Structure 1
C-alpha cells in the first residue's frame, strides 16, 4: 500500500492509545440513526415545502425557484468536495475524526435553516428573491459541514460488511422517522384550508430545528469511531493520486450515477406531490396520509433487508425493489382516473419497492470506499464520501431546477385558485410517468452495470483485511 498505512479496527483511540473501546452494537446503530434523523428534519422540510413557501408566500415564480435550486445545489456540490478534502486532512482526536464536526456545526446549520422560512410582509419581489438566494445557499453550505463528516463516519464505526448494512438500514430509518413527522405533521401545521400560511412555516422550522439539534447531540453521544488510521506512516495524499484512483473505481462511478438518478427522482416526486395533492386531488389531508405511508413502507421493508441481502446480495435486493417501484408508478400513470385513496394504495407498493434501494444505498457507499483503498492503498473516507455527496447534490440541483421548470412548463400559476385542466394533467404526468421511467433506468444501472455483487463484496472484505494485516 505504498507510503500510506492501512486502517484497522482497534481497541484504542488516536488520542488515548490505552483506553479500551466498547464493541460495536445497538448503541452505535441508534447513534447513527439519530444523525440522519437530525439531517432530515430540515432536509425533508426543505425538499417538501420550501418551493411552495417561495411560490405561495413570497410570490416567486416557479421558474425562478427552479433556477435558485439549480445554482444552490451546484454550489453545494463544490462545497461538499472542498469540505471532504478538509476533513481528510484533519487528525483524529479523543472523540474521533468525524463526529466532533457534527456537533460543532449543527447549531449554525439549524439557525440558518430557520432563517430561510422568515417572511417579512410588504417587501418587494426583488428583496424576496435576494433573501431566498442568500439564506438558501447559506443553509446548503452549512449542511455540507455536518453531512460530510456524518456520512464519512459510517466507514470508521465498523469495518464488517454485514454490520455496515445494518448502519445503512438504521440511517434510512432515521430519515424515515423524520419524514414521518414532517410529512404527516408538516401539512397540518403549514396549510390552513388548503392554503399556505406564512407564520405556520416559521413555526414548523423552529419546532423541527429544536428536534434536529437534539438528534445531532444523540448521534455524538451514542456513536463511536473504531477504525483508526496509523498516523506514524500517514503522509499528505496528493489530489492527483486520488483522482487516478477515482477513475479506476468502477463501482463508485456506477453507484454515483444510480444514486444521482434516484435522488433526482425522489426530490422531484417530493416537490410535485405537494402540488398533486393540493391542486389535482384537492386534499392536503391526503398528503399527510402519504407522509405516514412512506416511512411505514420503509419500516415494513426493514426486517427483510438483512435476510434478503444475506441470501441474494445488496445489488440484487436493491435492483428488484426499484423495479417493483417503476412498475407501480407506470400503473398509476395508466390508471389516470383513480380515486385518491386507490392512488395512495398503489403508491404505497411503489414506496415499499424503492424503500429497499434506499435502505441499502449507504452500505454501497462503504463498499466503494473499501474498493478505493484496495485499488490505491489510500484510505480517504471523507473525500470519497464527499464525491458521492457531490453526485447527490447534482441530483438535487437537477431535481430542484427540473421541478420548478416543469411546473412552469405545465402552466402552474400560484395566483389561480383553480389550475387549468392542462396544468393538472401535466402535474399528474410529472408525479407518475416521469418517476416510472427514471426508476426503470436505475434498475438497469444497478442490475447490469454495478459490479460488486454478493460474491465480489465478500471477497473484497477478505482481500482488504489481508492487505491491512500485511503492513502492520
Structure 2
C-alpha cells in the first residue's frame, strides 16, 4: 500500500474493464446521497416552520452558518483523502462503507416530530445539533470521496461524461421519488402531517444505506496516480493559491453557486406555491413528475451530443432554456396545466446542465493537474462542494428572508393576496435571474470548451505514460 508521501504505487489487483456496472453503481451513489439531502433541501423549511414551529429566519440562519463551517470541513476532508494512505479497497471507496450508516441515522433523527411539543430553545438545539452532525460531519465525509471518485473510475473523457450522466440520472430518480411521493404522504390539502414526516425520514434513511451498498459493490477505482513525496508536494497555502488562480475552477464555482441559488430557492418555496397559491399541496407531485420525466431521455442522447458539441456548449443551451421557461411562466401567469408545461420545459433545460456538471468538475481537476503537475482530486472537489453548500445555505437564508419580506404568516388560515403574488414571484422570477447569471458565466468566463478538454486529456495521458507506477484505466467493455 502507498504511504502518504511515498512514490511507490499501491499493490494492483486485476480489475474488470469499465462498463455498465460502474455507471449504474455510480448512479446509486447519488441516489443514496439524495435520500438524505433532498429532504433537507426541499422540506426542511416547511417542516420546521409548519410542524415544529421554528421561525423561518432562524432556520435560514442555521443553514447559512453551517455552510460557513463547511468551508473548513469540506476542504479538510478533501485534503484528508488526498494525503491519507489508501485502504485495500481504494482511495475513496472506504469512506462509503465507513459513513453510510451514520449519515442516514443523523438525517432520520433530525425529522422526528416528538420534538414539536418541547420548549422553543430545546427544539432549536435539536435542530441545530443534528443538522450540523448530518451536514458538516457525515454528509461531508461521504460526499467528498464519492464525488472525487469519478476521476479514478476511468481516465477517458467520454467515460467520465457517462458517469456524470448516470450520476445525474440517480439525482433525477431521487428527485422524482422524493418530490412526487413525499407530498402525497406528508401533505393533506393545505395541512402538513407531522407523524408521517418522521416515518418518511426513517424510510429514506434505510434506502440511503441500501443505495450506498449498491455503489460500493459495483464501482471500481482504476486510475492510480502515485502521490509525490512529501517534500515535493505543494504545501496547503501554495495549493490554495494555485486553485484560486484556476480560471476554470473559479468560473464553475460561481456558475454553480448562482445555479444552486436559483434552483434550491425555487425548491424552498415550491411547497408554499402549491399549498397557498394553488391551494392544493398534492399538485406538487403532478408538477414534479412532469418536470422530471422528460429528463430521462438525456440518458440516451447526452453521450453522442457531448461527443459532437461538447459539454460546455450543451450546458449553455440548457441554462438558456431554463431562463426562458421560467420568465415565460412569470409574465404569462397561466392556468395550472400550462404552468406545468412551461415548468417542465424549463426543468428539462436545467437537467441538460445538471446531467453534465460532474463531468465539468473532473475536467477542472484535470486542468488543475495540467497547470500544477500535482493530482488533487479531493481538494478540488471539496472546494466545489463547499461552493455548492454555500449556494444551499444562501438559498435557505433567502427563502426565509423572502417569505418574511412578502408577509408570509405560518399560522394564518389563508395568506393575503399580496403574499400570494409574492410567492409566485419568488418561485418563478427570482430563480430565472440567478440562472441568467450562470448563463453569462458559462458564455464569457468558463474556458474549458471541447477542444481544450481534449488537449488536457492528451497531455495527462502522455505524462502518465512516462511515470513508472502510474496505472491508467483498463479498456472499456
TM over 0.5: yes
Give the match's secondary structure for 1:229. Answer: coil
Contact preservation (8 Å) 2:92, 2:149: yes
1:126-153: CA deviation from partner (whole Å, max 9, x where unpaired): 2211211111111102110110000010
Deviates more, 1:292-301 or 1:50-59: 292-301
Give the Cα separation in 1 of the matches to 2:48 and 2:242.
42
Contact preservation (8 Å) 1:262, 1:438: yes
User: What is aligned with 1:84?
Assistant: 78
Shift of the 6–323 alpha-carbon distance from structure 1 to 2, 3 Å rule, reads farther
Contact preservation (8 Å) 2:291, 2:340: no
Residue 125 (1) aligns with residue 126 (2): no
User: What is aligned with 2:139?
Assistant: 143
Picking from 350, 355, 374, the partner of 1:354 is 350
Alignment TM-score, normalising by the size of structure 2: 0.94
Residue 273 (1) aligns with residue 270 (2): yes
Residue 254 (1) aligns with residue 256 (2): no
User: What is aligned with 1:290?
Assistant: 287
Picking from 98, 103, 110, the partner of 1:109 is 103
Residue 428 (1) aligns with residue 424 (2): yes
User: What is aligned with 2:62?
Assistant: 68
Instruction: State how many pairs are aligned.
Output: 461
Residue 179 of structure 1, CA deviation? 0.9
Contact preservation (8 Å) 1:116, 1:136: yes
Picking from 438, 445, 450, the partner of 1:442 is 438
Match runs of 1:291-440 below 5 Å: 291-336=288-333, 338-440=334-436
User: What is aligned with 1:169?
Assistant: 165
1:85-104: CA deviation from partner (whole Å, max 9, x where unpaired): 11112122221110110111
Give the match's secondary structure for 1:65. Answer: helix
Residue 231 of structure 1, CA deviation? 5.2
Deviates more, 1:125-134 or 1:456-465: 125-134
Gaps of 5+ in 1: 8-12
Picking from 452, 455, 466, the partner of 1:456 is 452
Residue 134 (1) aligns with residue 129 (2): yes
Residue 237 of structure 1, CA deviation? 4.1
Deviates more, 1:405-414 or 1:71-80: 71-80
Residue 290 of structure 1, CA deviation? 2.1
Shift of the 231–441 alpha-carbon distance from structure 1 to 2, 3 Å rule, reads closer
Give the Cα separation in 2 of the matches to 1:93 and 1:112.
26
Residue 230 of structure 1, CA deviation? 2.2
Give the Cα separation in 2 of the matches to 1:258 and 1:87.
26
Give the match's secondary structure for 1:24. Answer: coil
User: What is aligned with 2:41?
Assistant: 47
Give the Cα separation in 2 of the matches to 1:272 and 1:244.
38
Residue 203 (1) aligns with residue 199 (2): yes
Residue 6 of structure 1, CA deviation? 9.7
Match runs of 1:184-195 below 5 Å: 184-195=180-191
Picking from 86, 89, 93, the partner of 2:87 is 93
Contact preservation (8 Å) 2:28, 2:170: yes
| C-alpha RMSD over aligned residues | 1.7
Residue 318 of structure 1, CA deviation? 0.5
Residue 76 of structure 1, CA deviation? 2.3
Give the Cα separation in 2 of the matches to 1:412 and 1:303.
43
Give the Cα separation in 2 of the matches to 1:399 and 1:71.
12
Alignment TM-score, normalising by the size of structure 1: 0.95
1:51-82: CA deviation from partner (whole Å, max 9, x where unpaired): 11100011112212111111122222321111
Give the Cα separation in 1 of the matches to 2:61 and 2:120.
16
Contact preservation (8 Å) 2:261, 2:431: no
Give the match's secondary structure for 2:391. Answer: helix
Give the Cα separation in 2 of the matches to 1:58 and 1:240.
43
Contact preservation (8 Å) 1:157, 1:226: yes
Give the Cα separation in 2 of the matches to 1:339 and 1:176.
26
Gaps of 5+ in 2: 469-477
Give the match's secondary structure for 2:407. Answer: coil
